Every structure is written in structure tokens, then in C-alpha cells.
Structure 1
Amino acid sequence: MSLILKESVALRSQAINPWIGFYFLQSMLINFALGYEFSVLYAVVLTCALSVLWRHAPRAQKIFLGITSLVAASYSPFGQAYGAPNFNTLLALRSTNMEESTEILTIFPWYHYVIGLFIFALGVISIRRRVTAPSVPWLKWDTLGVMFCVASYFIGPVQNHFRGFEFRLIDTGVPVLRFVRDVAYNYHEVVEEEENMALLSSMKDTWTVTAVKPKYHTYVVVIGESARRDALGAFGGHWNNTPFASQANGNLFIDYISASGSTQKSLGLTLNRVVDNKPQYQDNFVTLANRAGFQTWWFSNQGQIGEYDTAIASIAKRADEVQFLKRGDFEADKNTRDDDLLKLTNQVLSTKRNQPQLIVLHLMGSHPQACDRTGGKYNEFVQSKETSCYLYSITQTDDLLGKIYSQLRNSGESFSMVYFSDHGLAFKERGKEVQYLAHDDHFQQNFQVPFMVLSSDDTKHRLIKARRSANDFLSFFSQWTGITAEQIKNSYRFISEQKAGPAYVTNFKLQKVDYSHLGTDIFDTRKKR
């Protein structure tokens, strides 16, 4: 009777303890900051765990809360924009230079940082809570609390099992534990991918070229950055912001789908031969052109951190001549512009050469933060300054393409130029004054990008409606350049209205997803001030 009375008193004191409410608020914010879907259940789980820890191991609880609050506060802006850690975020973290990091940090709305500071402040308050009792007895409510936490741990693995996936204890849904798992697992995957890339990049290509019949003397591949197709007037966008592409003679594909939603992964799957969903970095479109006797050039306005530390750098270094306008270190020149690449293309085109030529240009294009690309300039205000700058950055790229086209015309040689973007973007803080665009993988617009082919003998402006996938880029490259290789199978004519089957994309969890099953992120054309 005495024991029951004591437990009842203890329970009543816990129920009216304001710290329980404090821990629940803290738990909700921490779970939210780590990028996972809101769940009252998991907030209760963390609250229960903190309460039991405080009663029996207060110093351990303080250490746990201190570390967790610091991590959650730091990750909060990223979690609200990009969600929980995945392969793409860890890959971006390892391959992003100082300039890009600064731009990412400045694109988040100020109140995202306020939330992070608030979480940090709550953590400080928790750490400063005074320990009033040296020890307390273990009650049955403590046992029930532990059992509740343990049972909640198994919800994720059990759900996966009933959904047809493997039952794995590591697949818990508890956000704090899941965050650690996601970071560790995806970091391992990124390191493994980079080691595999480094190994393959140093290997000799395995192409077996069976025929080389180029139709043109000069081939130019312009790789754009972060351009949503619905932001380009020439591809059905609401704005007249692409005067060159809108009237140029050539083939514009209005249903081209990128391979993934981020630069490294998308271009890794696009420009390399892929076996069992793994890019073979030694067998890419540059080494194929080299093997066919083309002279190859790679000019980039994107950063190069090292020789083989990013998928794109590993491909670029296979060209005969390579030049990066940015080195990607702490002294990287933030002010280099895509237009600066014109000096390099002019040098190549001003000299007569017997070999067929392949020139690759990799742009900064519309990479967030778009206002850094445009110097804060825009033609028309739409929703927010950043959105307006984004639309103007599209115009800048269109103007660049027009200048490259003119250079090719003036060279006196036959030519063909292809332009496409690596991936699209999704809107964040939609409808607000701070609206901006960022990487995502949940919407079709994250993969809807422009693709066009302009050749010296084109006489019409043609829109191709047939769906095309970046996963078939090497097939296009083979048909386009007249380079036939045993490893490339052409199942349909790329530049045609011939159907090519369903398109699949690779999401940030490295899962192949049917593009048609994705949601939509429509570009709101209304003007707001």
C-alpha cells in the first residue's frame, strides 16, 4: 500500500511538472529540425526517454540533449529546405566548395535560422537545469516508459516488413536515431561511390568503336545548371525570356527528363555508361570521342576541388584540353561568369583543324543563389526577388547560347550544338516574399529540363513532343556524332517522334522511381509584392 501511494504521488508530481511540457516542445522541434515528417508519437517517445534519463542519469541526459540540440540547431535550415540526410546531401557536402557553401547559407530565409537559434537556446536551458535529488527509486512508470520507447523503436522495422521490405533493426523511425543512421549509412555510400569513381577514373576505357562517321566537323555540348523547363519561354514557359532559343532553327525537346535531381548524380548517370545502376566512369562520352579520333575540349565555370573528387571532374580530366575558371578552393573567384567561356571557345574555333572537334562547356547557369548569377538584376518581378533573378538567369544562358551559335557560324565549319540542363529545382517557401528554388526529388519539375539540338544545316524550328530520358544520352551521343560502339545499343531514333518507353529517375535515396508517379510543383506565374 505504501509503495502504491509513493508511486501515485510520484506520478502526480511528474504530471504537473512543467519540464515535461518543456521536453515535449523541445522534442517536437528537434524532430522537425532533423528533416523528418511531423509525428506526435515520436515526440512523445523522445519526451519519455528524456524524462526517464533525467530521473536516473541526469548528467547523461544533459550530454545527450546538448549534442542533440546543437546538431538539430545547425541542421535546421537544411532540414526545412532539403529534408532528412540522404545520399545526395552527403555527396553535396563532400563535393561543394567554399563559394557554393556560402551561397547555400545565404539563400535560406532568416526565420529558418531563428528556429535553429531557438532550439539551441532550449538546449542551453535544459543543460542548466539543476539536479535537485542525487538519486530516486525506480518506479513501474519508469519501466512502462522504457517499454514504450523500446516498442516505438520497432515500429519502423515492422512497417517495412509488412510493406514487403526486409526487416532490419537499423531501420527505426525514431528521428534522433534515424538521423544518426541516415548520416552514417549515406556517408558510407558516398565514400564507396567516390572510391569506385577514383578507381574507374584511373582505368583505361573499354570502348570498342566499330564505326566513325561524323556528319559535322564541330560538336558542342553545353551543360546547363538547375534550369527548370517551365522557366524557359522556348519550352512552354510563361515568360518571353529566351529570344534566341525561341526562334533558332533546330530541334527542341519539350519532354526531356533528367536522370536525377542533383548535378553530380544526374550527370554521373547521364554522361557515363551505366551497368547495374552504377556509372562506369572510365567509359564516358569524352573517352568515347577520344577513342573515335575526336579532339576533345572541356571548359567549365564550375568549381574543381581536385582531379578526381567529383563525378564531373573525373570526366572532364579525360579531355585533351581542360580548363576550369574556378579552382574550387578558398580562393575561388566568385565573379567568374559563364560568358568568360566564350574566350576559350573563340580560341579553339579560330584555328583550322583537320580532326573532328568535341567542345564541352559546363555552366553555372541558374545555380542557387540565382541573384548571385545575375548580380541582383531581373527584368520582371515574380513572387520574390530570388524567383525573379532565376528567370533572368535563364535569359543570360539563352544569350550565351546565341553567342556560341554565332561563333560556330563564323567559324566556317559545319557544326551541331546540344544544350541541356542537369536537373530542375523545386520551390521553397512558396508564395512568400522569401520564395526561392532548391534541389529536390519529389516532383516532376525537379527532372523536367530543356534539351535542344541546333545544327548548321537546320532550316526549321521544330518542337519534339516524344518523351526522352537522360538515361539514354549515350545513345543520343552515338547517333549524333556518328560514333558506333559495341557497348551502346540504339533501340530508337533519338531525334524523332518515335516513342521510347517509360522514363525512370534516380531519387536522392538512390532508388529508381517511375517519373510519371511523381507529384507536381507548378510555377505560379502571379506577380506579388
Structure 2
Amino acid sequence: MKNIKKYFSVILFYPLLIVTILGWFLIPYFKPYLKEIIGFGIVTTILFSLYLLIPKLKIQKWFLIASILLLAALAFIKLSFYYHYNVKLSGSALFVIFETNTQETSEFLSYYLNTSIILLAIVLFLPWLFLIPFILKQESSLLFTDRLKSVKWKILIVLGIVLSLFIIHKKFSEHNIIYTSIASYSDYQITKANLKKTLAKSASDILKVHSSDEKPQTYVVIIGESTSRWHMQLYGYERETNPLLTEIKDELVIFKDVITPNVHTILALDKILTFSDYKHPNKEENASIVQLANQAGFTTYWISNQRPVGLHESVSTLIGNASDQTYFLATDNYNSNIYDEVVLPKLDEILTQGDEKKMIFIHLIGTHGDYKKRYPKKYAFFNDSPPQTPFITKSNEHYVNEYDNAIRYNDSIVRSIIETVRKEEKSSFVIYFSDHGDELHDTMDLRGHNEYYGTPPMYEVPFVIWTSPEYKNQHPNLSDLNSFTDRKYNLENFIHSFSDLSRIEFNLMDKSRSIFNPEFQERTRWIKENEDYDNR
């Protein structure tokens, strides 16, 4: 019993044992599995080595407890992420986590916390309820032999720790949650600082507007959320998820091959709404479509049905706050039911104001998970078996139904906005796209979005334009947009298309990047790390 107590501190390796066993089943492919085990093992060894260097029993016991709980937490995060996504926790995913508020976290947990994850938590954390009191009762060092008291052994341990840290930095940094989190958070803070410095202002120093139409005009840009064109009737989906937009299909310009630059909102909108792109993400000298509209003489409005996460917090909030007037409609109870119909009265109110040139940006909650919380009960239209894929089962059919119901409700919102603008009888357009899509067991057994996989349903988004008769009459050169609908396009160039459609001429305009322009040139659509989307 004495020897057992003496070496009891080897329980520090318990989380590593769990990662080794469960990781075999959760981590796809042997090489990533091996790297995860080695990386986690090195971290465990570093903490164990630091434990050995602590001379005072009280500090030693508390360090052991803290190390055990830290390793258990890291193991839980690592394994639960592999369980849901079959990939390691990446920098892009951490960006999303840093951008998430507490209520969104609550919603995420309610959506993804299931029996398997609860059992994982029990396996990793429950034993310590019984073992921590046992550790605290010890009256002698749990592991501190005479050999470890010698200076030579202490030096060897310190050198081992330094070497281990170097190996993590060089070979296992992407598999180390602590290292990845610190590096990603640093990048995130730099991104936010640059955004605040450049995009939160109403005007940009780098923009020089040469001309803009001064006639009465009302333009609306609808930014959707998590909506894939794979589940849209307008794009050939078997279900009637777009009955109202289909009614006016002949009035719409439906672009068939548009992708988002990223499958996470923060990274996607940074590129879609500004000059940032694949080669120049997070540009220090940057400007947004809101600032461009401001400087072209429009009165700008930002209506958002997404929680702002506090003033000057979210990326979309930063960009939106450059507008003349901002309205954040989902500030409370974010984890409850949120319906986009709340934007319609606000749009009606704005249209009664006397500004001749209006540019209205509407940021929807769209089909953001939890899908069943994004539409009223009367829109629970789909309750049968959805169009089958090899990855749809009886246990996940209801998620597909909920997603399709959310898209059908979203269809009613976009159509209502178009009809409201139509009544203006002005030179007008309504443009609708989504920041990214979701995978709903379409091409793999996965629900949601994750850039590691980056499946087509995550990247391929709707891009739909409605223009009024007055707009077509005033701009006959843009009356035949349907001839451009097959163009391959990445939304990271949207600022150029936006200015073209809005008839804004400015110094940084590149017509070859506008999908609406005869001078348009198709470009390689880069995603992830040097991956050509069209040659994957």
C-alpha cells in the first residue's frame, strides 16, 4: 500500500490513456492518431516533470490536481471535437469560438451535447471526485525519491522540459490545443484591432468615389446565414423549399456557381464585405461595402437579426456600425426562438424616411442551427422522409426536415423583402446570398460546417438578384444579367460586384472582378491552404 501511494501520481497519465483508447475509434487514419497521442503524451510528460521539481508537499498536491483537471479538460475538448467533426480543433474553428458569446455557447451545447459526450465527460472527470480528497489527505510526498533531490537529475528534467517544448513547437503545434489556442487568439486580436481601426469608421481613407447615380434609388443587400443552395428548390432541390421565390423565378437572376471564401461566418464576412481576400486576409488598409456606400452619398442602414455581442465586438457588428443607422433586433434571449420576420417592420419604417438614396443591409439569422428555432410552428412543412442520400438515417432525418423548413421560411422572408421594395417603384435591386452553407448528410455523414472537410454544400451558396423595372430602364447595359449566370465566382470579390450593380465608380474598382461586368475574368477560386476549389 505504501508503494502504491508513493507512485500514485502516475494517475496524471489517465487522460492520456483515455485519449489513446478512444482516439483509436474517433481519429480517422493512423498518422493523425499517432501525432495526437505523441503530442498529448509530451504535454502530459511536461506537467509530470514540473510536478517532480516541486519541493513543497502542499504545492505539489495542488499542482497535481490542477494538472489532472487540465489534461482531462484538454482530452474532453479534443475527443468531443473528433466525435462531432472527425477532425482536430483548428485555428479557424477557434476563431469562431472566440467570436461566440455565452448565449451562443449555450445554444451550441444544447445542440451538440448528447449521451456519448456526457459519457465521455463522466469517464474523464468523475474519478477525480473520489481521488482528489485522497490526494489532499496525503501527509508525505506522493513521488519524491532521494534521486530526484539531486541537482543533476533536476537539470536533466529541466532540459527534458525545454526539449519537449521545442518538439511541440516544431512538430506538434497544430495538435496542441493550448499552443493553437494562444496563437489563434493572438491572430484573432490582431484581426479585431485592424477591423476597428479601418472598418468601424463611416468613411475610409483609401476610398475615392468618382461618381454615383444621384436619382432616387433603393438598394437592399440581404446577407443570409448557413444556407446552402443544395437544399434550395431554386437550384434543383427535390423539395419545395422556395415556393415563393419560384413564383417570381422569371424576375430573378439566379447565379449557378457561386461559392463563399470560407465556411465560418467571421472569416467569410471579412472577405465578402471588404477588400480582404485569400491572398490578403485581414488587410491593414481596408474598407467595406458600407463605407463605400456612405462615400457614394447613400444613407446607409444596417438591420441585423443576429446578436451584436456588445458594441464593436462581432466582425459583422464592426462593419455594420459604419452605417448611418444601425438596428440590432436580436439582443436578448439569443438561445431561444429567433425569427427573421422581425426585420420586415423595420424595413417598412426605413422606407418611409425621406432619403432619396437608400442602401439597406439586412443580416438575417437565416438557417443558423438550431434549425428548429429559426421558423414558427406553422412553417413545419416537412415531416416525412427527405430525399435520401447514403448518409441519411432514421436518426438524422428530423435534422434535414428542420433545415428544409428553415429554408422554406427563409424563402418567405426574402420574397417579402422583394415585394416591399417593389412597392417603392424606384430604381431598386435586392441581392441575396449566404455567408456559407451547412452539410446536412448530403455528401458525408456530417451536420453543420467545418473547414477541414469543406464539403460542397458548405461552400456552394445562393446568389440571387431581383431588379425593378425602373432599374432596368435606367441601366439597360445591366438588363441581361441572365447571360452571366454560369460564371464561376468567389464571393471574396463581392465588393467589386456590389459597386458595379450600385453604379458606384471609385478608385479601387476592378471590373474584371465583378460578376455583372462584361470585362469579368474567371479566377482560381482558392480555399483552405492553396486548394483550388474547382480542381479538388
Greater helix share, 1 or 2?
2
Q: Tell me what 1:523 maps to.
A: none
Q: Tell me what 2:411 maps to.
A: 398
SS at match of 1:407: helix
Change in 2 beyond 3 A, CA 1:464/1:133: closer
C-alpha displacement of 1:467:
0.7
Question: Which of 515, 520, 527 is the aligned partner of 2:533?
Answer: 515
| Aligned residues of 2:219 and 2:429 also touching (Cα < 8 A) | yes
Question: Which of 319, 326, 332 is the aligned partner of 1:315?
Answer: 319
Question: Which of 188, 191, 200 is the aligned partner of 1:190?
Answer: 188
Between the aligned partners of 1:461 and 1:489, the Cα distance in structure 2 is 18
Between the aligned partners of 2:320 and 2:11, the Cα distance in structure 1 is 57
Q: Tell me what 1:340 maps to.
A: 342
| Aligned residues of 1:255 and 1:468 also touching (Cα < 8 A) | yes
Between the aligned partners of 1:153 and 1:354, the Cα distance in structure 2 is 61
Change in 2 beyond 3 A, CA 1:26/1:53: farther
Matches within 5 A, 1:212-361: 212-213=212-213, 217-247=217-247, 248=249, 249-274=251-276, 276-279=280-283, 283-327=287-331, 334-350=336-352, 353=354, 355-361=356-362
| Aligned residues of 2:81 and 2:89 also touching (Cα < 8 A) | no
Structure 2 residue runs of 5 or longer lacking an equivalent are 55-59, 387-391, 473-478
Q: Tell me what 1:64 maps to.
A: 67
Matches within 5 A, 1:71-470: 71-73=74-76, 77-78=80-81, 80-81=83-84, 83-110=87-114, 111-124=116-129, 127=132, 128=134, 135-136=144-145, 170-173=169-172, 178-200=176-198, 201-202=200-201, 204-206=203-205, 207-213=207-213, 217-247=217-247, 248=249, 249-274=251-276, 276-279=280-283, 283-327=287-331, 334-350=336-352, 353=354, 355-374=356-375, 377-380=380-383, 381-382=385-386, 383=392, 384=396, 385-427=398-440, 436-445=447-456, 446-457=458-469, 462=482, 464-470=485-491
Q: Tell me what 1:521 maps to.
A: none
Moved more, 381-390 or 470-479: 381-390
Moved more, 70-79 or 45-54: 45-54
Between the aligned partners of 1:307 and 1:21, the Cα distance in structure 2 is 44
Q: Deviations over 1:231-262 (max 9, x none)?
A: 11212334221123334222111211112221
Q: Tell me what 1:25 maps to.
A: 17
Change in 2 beyond 3 A, CA 1:269/1:359: same
SS at match of 2:20: helix
SS at match of 1:259: coil
| Aligned residues of 2:294 and 2:323 also touching (Cα < 8 A) | yes
Change in 2 beyond 3 A, CA 1:496/1:250: farther
C-alpha displacement of 1:174:
7.0
Between the aligned partners of 1:92 and 1:349, the Cα distance in structure 2 is 34
Between the aligned partners of 2:441 and 2:130, the Cα distance in structure 1 is 31
C-alpha displacement of 1:125:
6.2
Indicate the percent of aligned positions where both proteins have the same amino acid.
20
SS at match of 1:273: coil
Between the aligned partners of 2:180 and 2:417, the Cα distance in structure 1 is 44
C-alpha displacement of 1:43:
6.0
Change in 2 beyond 3 A, CA 1:245/1:144: farther
The RMSD of aligned alpha carbons is 4.2
Change in 2 beyond 3 A, CA 1:97/1:243: same
Change in 2 beyond 3 A, CA 1:417/1:430: closer
Moved more, 482-491 or 200-209: 200-209
Between the aligned partners of 1:20 and 1:96, the Cα distance in structure 2 is 32
C-alpha displacement of 1:32:
8.7
C-alpha displacement of 1:337:
1.7
| Aligned residues of 1:253 and 1:450 also touching (Cα < 8 A) | yes
Using the size of structure 1 for normalisation, the TM-score is 0.77
Q: Which amino acid aligns with 2:33?
A: F
Between the aligned partners of 2:164 and 2:442, the Cα distance in structure 1 is 32
C-alpha displacement of 1:196:
2.0
Using the size of structure 2 for normalisation, the TM-score is 0.76
C-alpha displacement of 1:112:
1.7
